[in-house]
C-alpha cells in the first residue's frame, strides 16, 4: 500500500449500504494497486449509525460527530471539516449523509465532493423522491451521482441509473429496486473520478 496517495472519506448517517458497496468495490477492483486509492475513513453525524459498526469491522477508521451537540450548522460543518481534513482526502463521498451542508463546507471541498441522489436529476430534488415519482405517473425512476454544489442536488451529473416504475409499486418497493442500481453505479462513478485525479 506504499503507493496509496488518494484517500477517500465517506460520510454516512445510517446503515451505509452505499458506503459498503464502495468499500467492497475498492477491494475487489484493487483500487489501492491500480489507482493508489483507499477508503481512509467513514464519518457519521450519528454515533448509532450501523454503517460505523460495519466499517470498523473492515479495519477502516471511523468517526462519530453528533450534529445535535452543535449550536449551528456552521459550527457542526466546521468541526466536520477538521475531522475530514486529517485524512487529506482526494474525494469526500456522501453516502446517505442526511445533512444539508453549508456553502462554506461545499466551497472547501469544491471539485472533491460527490453525492448520490435517489432520482433522475434534475427531476425530484430533495426528499420523498420515489413517492413523488409514483404520484406523477413516471414510467422510469433511478438515481444520480453528482458533484455537490451550494444549490441542493444541482451539481454536474457524473452518472445515472434508470429503473422502471412498475404497476403497483410502492415507494418502498421502488426504493429497493433503485438501491440495487445505486450499489453498482456509485462505486463505478467514484472509480472513474479517481482515475482522473
Q: Which residues are catalytic?
A: 117
Q: CA 88 to CA 9: how far, in whole Å?
A: 9
Q: CA 97 to CA 65: how far, in whole Å?
A: 12
Q: CA 67 to CA 160: how far, in whole Å?
A: 30
Q: CA 80 to CA 43: how far, in whole Å?
A: 9
Count other C-beta atoms under 10 Å from residue 122's C-beta.
11
Q: CA 160 to CA 144: how far, in whole Å?
A: 4
Cell matching residue 13: 448517517
Amino acid at each position: 500500500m506504499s503507493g496509496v496517495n488518494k484517500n477517500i472519506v465517506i460520510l454516512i448517517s445510517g446503515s451505509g449500504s452505499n458506503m459498503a458497496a464502495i468499500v467492497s468495490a475498492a477491494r475487489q477492483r484493487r483500487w489501492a494497486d491500480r489507482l493508489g486509492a483507499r477508503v481512509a475513513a467513514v464519518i457519521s453525524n450519528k454515533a448509532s449509525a450501523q454503517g460505523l459498526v460495519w466499517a470498523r469491522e473492515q479495519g477502516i477508521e471511523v468517526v462519530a460527530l453528533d450534529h445535535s451537540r452543535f449550536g449551528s450548522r456552521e459550527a457542526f460543518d466546521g468541526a466536520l471539516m477538521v475531522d475530514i481534513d486529517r485524512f487529506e482526502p482526494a474525494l469526500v463521498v456522501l453516502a446517505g449523509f442526511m445533512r444539508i451542508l453549508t456553502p462554506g463546507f461545499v466551497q472547501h471541498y469544491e471539485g472533491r465532493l460527490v453525492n448520490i441522489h435517489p432520482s433522475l436529476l434534475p427531476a425530484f430534488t430533495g426528499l420523498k423522491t420515489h413517492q413523488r415519482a409514483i404520484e406523477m405517473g413516471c414510467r422510469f425512476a433511478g438515481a444520480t451521482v453528482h458533484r455537490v454544489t451550494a444549490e441542493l442536488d444541482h451539481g454536474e451529473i457524473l452518472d445515472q441509473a434508470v429503473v422502471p416504475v412498475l404497476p403497483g409499486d410502492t415507494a418502498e418497493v421502488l426504493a429497493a429496486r433503485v438501491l440495487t442500481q445505486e450499489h453498482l453505479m456509485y462505486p463505478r462513478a467514484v472509480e472513474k473520478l479517481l482515475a482522473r485525479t
